[in-house]
Structure 1
Amino acid sequence: MAPNKIKVADVLRQAHKAEKSGNSGEALALFNQVLEAFPNNPKAKAGQKRLAGQAQSGGFLDGVDWSALDNSAVGQLNLSGVADPLGLQTTPQKTAERGDPFSGLSDLRGRGDPEEAAALWRQGNAAFAKKDFLAAALLFRDAVAKVSERADYWNDLGLALQKLERHQASLIAFQRAFTGADSPAMVYANLATAHAALGDREEAAAFFEDGLRVHPDSADLVSALAVFELSTGRKSDGEKSLRRLVGIAPDNGNAWLQLGLVSKNEQAARDLEALDRALQAKGLNPENRGAALLGRGHLLAATQDYDAAFASFDEGNRILSEMRPFDFQSDVAEMDRTKRLFSEGKVEKLVLPEVVGSASIPIFIVGMPRSGSTLIEQILSSHSKVFGAGEAPWWTSIMREEAGSLDAAEAVTKDQLRGMRSAYLAEMTRIAGGAPFFTDKCLPNFKHIGFIAHAFPEAKIIHMNRDPMAVCWSMFRRNFVGNDFTYSNNLDDLARYYRLYRDMMAFWKGRFGDRIMDISYEAFTESPESGTRELLAKCGLQFEENTLKFYESKRAAKTASMTQVREQVYQGSSDEWRKYAQGLAGLQRALADV
């Protein structure tokens, strides 16, 4: 049924009935259905908030230490059963603050109707496909509450929970999906990934080893293992696993891309020959061909054939851009709306005496991808008082949820800001596990700096600056999964988006000035020690020697820079684009006055 044709009263009645019957997943899905068509419907918003409020009073699993959770899930999870660990992480939607009240996932023994359970599971799949991961988790939970012996239901519950950053609960779900040595490869991979997300590397390695003993040719397991190795600093092992992976699955474009990023010297030439054979094979779909061509570009660059490398990057991005063109309309509308609200002074401001002190102080890192943000976060998270939360999705999700209200708003009140602040801090302070500071490196938050500054008077805001040509060229050579960064597949779109970003930052700098801490990547890499000392001082942190040895940190890095942050700071990367200057002449002209 089309969203604008739904009978709101009927859907709301169904939602209230489901809620009274204890089917919170179904109820939430129905309230969300109304809100998709009518974002400001008061009854649907009240129902959604009520379920979230109930969620705050309990948890997916009573007794779980939620403070142990972090933001280190690997890859893009999907309902094929396992992560695609070689894709960059997509942005999950905001979950309710503590999940839905539920007691004892570990001990659950369902005795319900199998047909009802199957219907709930199908609804969960539909919600997951829409990226409504909270509704999906609730529906899968309701399904296993009725039929607890279905391993596939438990596995899908684990995937939804992992999307919600609920790694301890997802681990328990995957454990329920594990039926012994003959379990599917995807369950071994998911268990290993869940252990890795919780920092238990030995247990993760054991599940990879056991799984590969049973399923030696599983692409799922080998790809998850490769990311585990690369993200934890075992570059040589990760490189070997990537070659094993492309041998098993030569049609995996992202595997070729990741291999291209790490392969060097004579080995790069041998890998290039193997990739060219794979590209000649039939059946390579456009998405995998596009990603593989990006990998080919990196391998050609490693052999110093820069003209051929540019041609391969260009062709790969042409294929990917045709598949997923970027829609500027929503971003332009969001930025214009934000500027209007702040230009007209319609956003109230919280000040320190008005806010309840949080257990942890946020350090927001904003800017464009490939601007050095992972380096800065890795340095900060090496400090004893800082927890690195990575690309935390929660503030972006809150802003998306508030978009309908903000579009119609005459003003944004202090009460609204308090609500947004409270929802964010409830999630982040739990993830931070009691650390006095935490980093949030969700870069698109540059669009929300004004709201952040007004809602978090105590927060630190770091804006990463890097040469625009270096940023855009580096993005052009990567394959960003999801819709938020598909402008990177087209040089004209890249230039247009970069100008939008710089215009938004100029707007914020005009209003907040030194409240925004600008860091030049080039200047920082020229003098990393003095830059680190200045960074820590501005964040209110004492200098610690560990921050100069960030590359030795045991913290897993799960971004496109996961191999670079395992190395010491090096200079000159911002000039890499000059090797391709002829092909980038148009981009250079478009960015000349930025």
Structure 2
Amino acid sequence: MHVANHELIGQARQAVRSGDYMRAESLAGKVLRAAPDMAEALEILFLCQQARQDHAGAEGTLRRIVRLMPTKQWPRGDLARLLLAAGRESEAEAVLREAIAIDDRHGEAHAMLGGLLSERETLIPGAHHLRRAIDLSGKHPQLLANLGRNLMRQGRLEEAEPLLRDACAAAPDLLLPAVHLAELAEQQDRFDDAIALLDRAERIARRQGRDVIAQRAQLLSRTPRWQDALDLLDGLPDLAGTALLLRARLRDRARRFEAAWTDAVAAKAQLARMRGHAYARQTAEALFAAMANLAQQPLVDVHLSRSSGVPQPIFILGFPRSGTTMVEQVLASHSRVRAGGELPFLNALPVLIERACGRPLGLAVKQLQDEKIVGQIHDFYMRQAADHGLLAPGADFFTDKMPLNEVYLPILRLAFPDAPVVAVQRDPRDVIVSAMQHDMTHGFHCAYRAEDAARHFAAVSDLTSNFKEMGIDPYVLRYERFVTDQANETAQLMAVIGLPPEPAQEEFHKVRRHAPTPSYAQVREPLHRRAAGRWHNYADQLAAIQPILAKAVARGGY
């Protein structure tokens, strides 16, 4: 480095330390005019741009540094943080994956990617990166808390609890692990413990000028004191989206139906704005068209060799809030069935098929009749299942209840011709009411508005009706029949699976497994019929979407 430039860089660094960013930027600019690729000067320029919130300039400078020093990690870390702050999550993810590809020992990149994936509910890969960050950087309380929360979302409460306790012990003033620990106790039905833990979290929150009112309301809503939860929320003028949805459900329980619907609509609109989500109708229609086209092709016998000696999948299909969690809980109460939950494997099929075929899914219909391509789909799915621990000894089957997997029925029948497939059916109007009162992103973000949810439901109904005409017709379990005749419906279900029913299945609500979905509380209750026909309480609010659902309602015989 030229002596004059070295002196200018030293003066610029001193200016940054003293907060004189204007002078620092001027000095860095002088160096860059003489040496445009000097990394030290570019770093100072970035710090100055960041200080005056010139985000576009800061991004450009960071990308320039990355090009000049591709093996240096700090610019990628700062670039990822900048992109995340701007809400550009996909770009941040790409930067972080590139950082890890260059150096797998970059703990900060693993930590950020693990947190990003966990927030996106991509939980298994998120947990992997968080564990890697802990291995590399140590048991930082925030990392422990993030991994604990991730495992909670997976339903792995026993693994999550010690992580959260360690986070609380290491950082007693950290609010989130204290709150998560209380939530974990609530999800285990340890309500007294949950109250004590939440009291501790509340003391932390007060010192920070915050509160845990929403968390306390959630806890009370699970107890006979649910009216106290409603009183808490009724007393607040401005509620965040998830708390507003909780109040919607409590107002429904109090039979204040008009107010409940108003809350649900407002909460969904708020959540959609905050997340930048909107129904991707065109993407959904393109996928449906490709699947309908594939269903019209003659199914060929590709002679797939079934993986012997390992559990096989049971596919549980249905719209969110149709009863799929209940059916999984019934199946998982059997000694030979392992619960898989909402497995994301089939959602990866369009990208997988595009790579295997060299063309988008809609143009790959004929190639999907090829034994090699279908075998790749089958093997990909089973590898993912193995990575999730679902192929371990001790079971004959594992469940996959990702909502709306019915869209992929033609591919399922090709790749898994012998797998049991159970389609859960419920009155579409009841489904829409329930979907509007719960937070979910399934179905291309259709559930933020009743109109979009109804359109998506109708489109899926049309598609599966098309499949049925082509001979792809899964076993249908009707929710309303199940809640009125559980024993016979369970026996018929198990006959389809090929296992004898077991007594534990009639008391599936007593199984201590935690179902990590919005339905976790409902499946811990004895079976009841209260949810059937709920839509009548919202007949006026549903009037505008009744025509959209008319064919689906008729197909179901409702």
Same-fold call, TM cutoff 0.5: yes
What is the CA distance between 1:259 and its match in structure 2? 4.0
1:116 aligns with 2:72: yes
In the alignment, the residues of structure 2 paired with residue 523 and residue 160 of structure 1 have an alpha-carbon distance, to the nearest angstrom, of 41
In the alignment, the residues of structure 1 paired with residue 512 and residue 480 of structure 2 have an alpha-carbon distance, to the nearest angstrom, of 26
Deviations along 1:78-115, one digit per CA (max 9) or x if unpaired, are xxxxxxxxxxxxxxxxxxxxxxxxxxxxxxxxxxx997
1:453 aligns with 2:408: no
The residue type equivalent to 1:415 in the other structure is: K
In the alignment, the residues of structure 1 paired with residue 211 and residue 321 of structure 2 have an alpha-carbon distance, to the nearest angstrom, of 21
1:504 aligns with 2:446: no
Identify which of 494, 502, 514 aligns with 1:544: 502
| Counterpart for residue 490 of structure 1 | 449
| Counterpart for residue 373 of structure 1 | 324
What is the CA distance between 1:368 and its match in structure 2? 0.1
Q: Taking structure 1 as reference, are residues 203 and 339 closer, same or farther at Cα in structure 2, changes over 3 Å only?
A: closer
Identify which of 265, 270, 287 aligns with 1:334: 287
SS of 1:464's equivalent? Answer: strand
In the alignment, the residues of structure 1 paired with residue 455 and residue 212 of structure 2 have an alpha-carbon distance, to the nearest angstrom, of 26
Q: Check whether the contact 1:167–1:198 (CA below 8 A) recurs between aligned residues.
A: no
Q: Map 1:245-256 onto structure 2 (within 5 A).
A: 248=205, 256=214
In the alignment, the residues of structure 2 paired with residue 253 and residue 508 of structure 1 have an alpha-carbon distance, to the nearest angstrom, of 51
| Counterpart for residue 71 of structure 1 | none
What is the CA distance between 1:254 and its match in structure 2? 12
What is the CA distance between 1:301 and its match in structure 2? 2.7
| Counterpart for residue 350 of structure 1 | 302
Q: Check whether the contact 2:114–2:127 (CA below 8 A) recurs between aligned residues.
A: no
In the alignment, the residues of structure 1 paired with residue 437 and residue 215 of structure 2 have an alpha-carbon distance, to the nearest angstrom, of 9
The residue type equivalent to 1:429 in the other structure is: A
In the alignment, the residues of structure 2 paired with residue 270 and residue 193 of structure 1 have an alpha-carbon distance, to the nearest angstrom, of 27
Q: Taking structure 1 as reference, are residues 292 and 485 closer, same or farther at Cα in structure 2, changes over 3 Å only?
A: farther
Q: Percent sequence identity over matched residues?
A: 24
Deviations along 1:495-537, one digit per CA (max 9) or x if unpaired, are 21111011111112222355x1100011011111222222112
In the alignment, the residues of structure 2 paired with residue 199 and residue 164 of structure 1 have an alpha-carbon distance, to the nearest angstrom, of 11
In the alignment, the residues of structure 2 paired with residue 172 and residue 154 of structure 1 have an alpha-carbon distance, to the nearest angstrom, of 8
What is the CA distance between 1:541 and its match in structure 2? 1.3
What is the CA distance between 1:321 and its match in structure 2? 5.0
Normalized per residue, which structure has more helix?
2
SS of 2:421's equivalent? Answer: strand
Deviations along 1:456-490, one digit per CA (max 9) or x if unpaired, are 1121111010011110100011121x474532222
Q: Map 1:15-414 onto structure 2 (within 5 A).
A: 116-121=72-77, 129-130=89-90, 136=96, 139-140=99-100, 142-143=102-103, 145=105, 152-156=108-112, 158-159=114-115, 163=122, 165=124, 169-170=128-129, 172-173=131-132, 175-176=134-135, 179=138, 183-184=140-141, 186-193=142-149, 204-216=160-172, 218-234=174-190, 237=193, 248=205, 256=214, 259=217, 263=221, 267-276=225-234, 278-280=236-238, 289-320=240-271, 324-345=277-298, 348-351=300-303, 355=306, 357=308, 359-403=310-354, 404-409=359-364, 411=366, 412=368, 413-414=370-371
1:526 aligns with 2:484: yes
SS of 2:315's equivalent? Answer: strand
Q: Check whether the contact 2:292–2:467 (CA below 8 A) recurs between aligned residues.
A: no
The residue type equivalent to 1:442 in the other structure is: M
In the alignment, the residues of structure 2 paired with residue 253 and residue 587 of structure 1 have an alpha-carbon distance, to the nearest angstrom, of 38
Identify which of 415, 422, 427 aligns with 1:462: 422
Q: Taking structure 1 as reference, are residues 494 and 571 closer, same or farther at Cα in structure 2, changes over 3 Å only?
A: same
Q: Check whether the contact 2:100–2:110 (CA below 8 A) recurs between aligned residues.
A: yes
In the alignment, the residues of structure 2 paired with residue 483 and residue 154 of structure 1 have an alpha-carbon distance, to the nearest angstrom, of 26
Count of residues in Structure 1 that have an aligned counterpart in Structure 2: 464
1:554 aligns with 2:512: yes
1:417 aligns with 2:374: yes
In the alignment, the residues of structure 2 paired with residue 335 and residue 114 of structure 1 have an alpha-carbon distance, to the nearest angstrom, of 42
Deviations along 1:438-473, one digit per CA (max 9) or x if unpaired, are 111112211100110111112111101001111010
Deviations along 1:306-335, one digit per CA (max 9) or x if unpaired, are 222222223323444565331211111111
1:573 aligns with 2:547: no
TM-score by length of 1: 0.68
* Higher RCO, 1 vs 2 (CA within 8 Å, ≥6 residues apart): 1
Decide which moves more: 577-586 or 257-266. Answer: 257-266
In the alignment, the residues of structure 2 paired with residue 378 and residue 419 of structure 1 have an alpha-carbon distance, to the nearest angstrom, of 30
Deviations along 1:130-165, one digit per CA (max 9) or x if unpaired, are 2897984573375452x6xx5x44533654786462
How large is the Cα RMSD of the aligned pairs?
3.8
Q: Taking structure 1 as reference, are residues 139 and 233 closer, same or farther at Cα in structure 2, changes over 3 Å only?
A: farther
Q: Check whether the contact 2:333–2:504 (CA below 8 A) recurs between aligned residues.
A: yes
In the alignment, the residues of structure 1 paired with residue 110 and residue 551 of structure 2 have an alpha-carbon distance, to the nearest angstrom, of 54
The residue type equivalent to 1:414 in the other structure is: E
Q: Taking structure 1 as reference, are residues 441 and 540 closer, same or farther at Cα in structure 2, changes over 3 Å only?
A: same
In the alignment, the residues of structure 2 paired with residue 234 and residue 302 of structure 1 have an alpha-carbon distance, to the nearest angstrom, of 23
Q: Check whether the contact 2:220–2:229 (CA below 8 A) recurs between aligned residues.
A: no
Give unpaired runs (5+ residues) of structure 2: 1-68, 553-558
| Counterpart for residue 429 of structure 1 | 386
In the alignment, the residues of structure 2 paired with residue 343 and residue 253 of structure 1 have an alpha-carbon distance, to the nearest angstrom, of 56
Q: Check whether the contact 1:191–1:204 (CA below 8 A) recurs between aligned residues.
A: yes
In the alignment, the residues of structure 1 paired with residue 337 and residue 136 of structure 2 have an alpha-carbon distance, to the nearest angstrom, of 35
